[in-house]
Amino acid sequence: MDLNIFRSKENYKLLIIILFQILWLLPGPGLMAQSKYAGESFSVGVGARGLGMGSAFHTLASGAEALYWNPAGLARTDPEVDNHLAFMHSERFSGEVDYNFIGYARRLPGKDRRSVAGIGLIHLGVGGIPVTRLEDPDRELGPDNRPVIERYSSKNDFVLLAGLARRFPGNGWLGGNVKVIYLRQEGASASGFGIDIGAVLPVRLAGVELLASLSARDVTTSFLAYSTGKREYIKPWISAGVALAEGFRLPGGMLNGAFEVSIPVERRRKNYASDSDYLMSLLHFGVEYALYRRMFLRGGLDEKHPTFGAGIFVRSLALDYAWIGHRDLDQTHRISLGYFF
């Protein structure tokens, strides 16, 4: 990485400009009052590396996985790498819920080779959903007329993402993506679209070289139009964070860390027992120890929930694993693959 980019005072000005642009694009209060928690099923992240670091990954994300975290990270792939292919699979609740991601990022040809385009697909599938009916449809529900399972159905949600990012010498990385959403369950369907934007900027603080990120998911408020005539709106999330640019040298490797805050543009405070619980739900912290740039150990906190992870990089193939704990829900295991070529 060219460390001269950390000396530019324009980075701070650019960060402020991007923040005002995000606030300007946010919807008005009338629209934000609708459809609370819509699109929540697609807020769990992609890639075992970032999830193992407590989802503190908006700053460090690169390659195809950055389509979800921060589209500016598309252009943060190794300049010597032209292509990145990523895949993730996870199962939750004894295999009842499948969550998958596949993505591809390619460095665009040209004289400067600073632009990268990417495309990805997220799939969430739930099977074995019971559809019930009364034993006697002509009578009211009661002890002698209970529901019985008539059949089982499934629910499938898809998000297609297409993004573009570019590195600006001296001013970091900027990017954005467009996403198309399609949901289907029990004969009903919904479709819509949204926009994500983000930036990663190199800064120097107290002599320490850092990366600062600012991103907004569903920045213009994504919408869902159902075949039944219902409409829902997916509220924006704003994420900001910092991470070490190069990490600290330790025997045999490097230690890196990231700290981030992700804030939903909707009122969720009353859903938490206290203000401190709500504040903790917004914070993400993660660390990664890279041993000889081949083996990785990770840990973090994701909304108070502990996370751990490990990875190995052999030649052009990266294999990562993440464990996400939860006090009330089942633990989650996620595996992802990355191929650089």
Model pLDDT for residues 181-222, shown as the tens digit of each residue: 999 987 789 999 999 999 999 998 888 899 999 999 999 888
Q: How far apart are CA 125 and CA 99, in angstroms?
A: 7
Q: How far apart are CA 308 and CA 316, in angstroms?
A: 23
Start-to-end CA span in the chain (Å): 20
pTM as predicted: 0.82
What's the average model confidence in pLDDT over 113-129? 91
What is the percent of the chain with per-residue pLDDT over 70, rounded to a whole number?
84
Q: What are φ and ψ of residue 20, in 5° steps?
A: -65, -35
Q: Which helix (H) or strand (E) holds 106?
A: strand 97-107
What's the average model confidence in pLDDT over 283-290? 96
Higher-pLDDT residue of 273 and 77 is 77
Higher-pLDDT residue of 34 and 264 is 264
What residue segments make up the domains of the chain, in order of their start?
Answer: 3-122+165-175+193-340
Question: Which of 50-54, 141-145, 165-169 is modeled with the greatest confidence?
Answer: 50-54
Higher-pLDDT residue of 60 and 170 is 60
Separation in Å, CA 72 to CA 119, 165, 189, 192, 251? 13, 5, 31, 23, 32
* pLDDT score of 78 more than 60: yes
Higher-pLDDT residue of 206 and 63 is 63
